[in-house]
Chains A and B, each alone.
Chain A
Amino acid sequence: SQTIHQWPATLVQPVGSPLSLECTVEGTSNPNLYWYRQAAGRGLQLLFYSVGIGQISSEVPQNLSASRPQDRQFILSSKKLLLSDSGFYLCAWGQGNQETQYFGPGTRLLVL
């Protein structure tokens, strides 16, 4: 069966510090991978998606970047965090153009 992992679960970082969030998927190959951000109790905003190694598409201009160094690894990064980067970050995977996505447990980021 497929599983998706995210870490860390919670992170508190000062403004201006770097960020690296990691997402890994097990039990599938060549998945589409997605990074979302969610404001408290609200819907999900798609930040990045990737259809293969090294292929990253950005959905919204922002202070963040994404990378996919391996087939089942997706990393969300920032060189200098802003207060507005605080939120709940969710990684998800899907297959091809199938509509179902499977979400990880999320990382709660607080920038102070």
Chain B
Amino acid sequence: TQLLEQSPQFLSIQEGENLTVYCNSSSVFSSLQWYRQEPGEGPVLLVTVVTGGEVKKLKRLTFQFGDARKDSSLHITAAQPGDTGLYLCAVMTTDSWGKLQFGAGTQVVVTP
């Protein structure tokens, strides 16, 4: 079973629209990360959230960690074509060594 469930799997929107993607689990995490991956490249870390209820903003991207630290959301305001990519959430596994478990990702396509 997948530890992290990401939804939707795919999202296609027009430039200027808003979007939200979700990362859910039945487990509690000490922290959660969001990565963005562009085609043919490796994922790049966007943000780490560590406190229940925490909200972090990165320009037009808003990240929220659920109060119970079981879920997270990523909201993009006024999306631009440069926001196109695969958005992945990830958490550390319980056996440490810095191992991460990733969700399956949400593919976002923003068309001009």
Please report the number of residue pairs spanning A and B whose Cβ atoms sit closer than 8 angstroms: 59
CB proximity to A under 8 Å, residues B46-72: 48
Interface size class of B (residues with CB under 8 A): 20 to 34
CB proximity to B under 8 Å, residues A46-87: 46, 49, 51, 57
* Inter-subunit contact A43/B104 (CB<8 Å): yes
Interface size class of A (residues with CB under 8 A): 20 to 34
Inter-chain contacts of B1 with A (CB < 8 A): none
Q: Which of B31, B42, B98 contacts A103 (CB 8 A)?
A: B42
Measured CA separation A100–B31 after assembly (Å) = 11
CB proximity of B100 to chain A, nearest CB, Å: 6
B residues whose Cβ falls under 8 Å from a Cβ of A: 6, 31, 33, 40-45, 48, 86, 88, 92, 96-105, 107
A residues whose Cβ falls under 8 Å from a Cβ of B: 32, 34, 41-44, 46, 49, 51, 57, 90, 92, 94-106, 108
Could you jot down 8 A-B contacts, CB within 8 Å? A43-B6, A44-B88, A46-B99, A57-B97, A100-B45, A105-B40, A106-B42, A108-B40
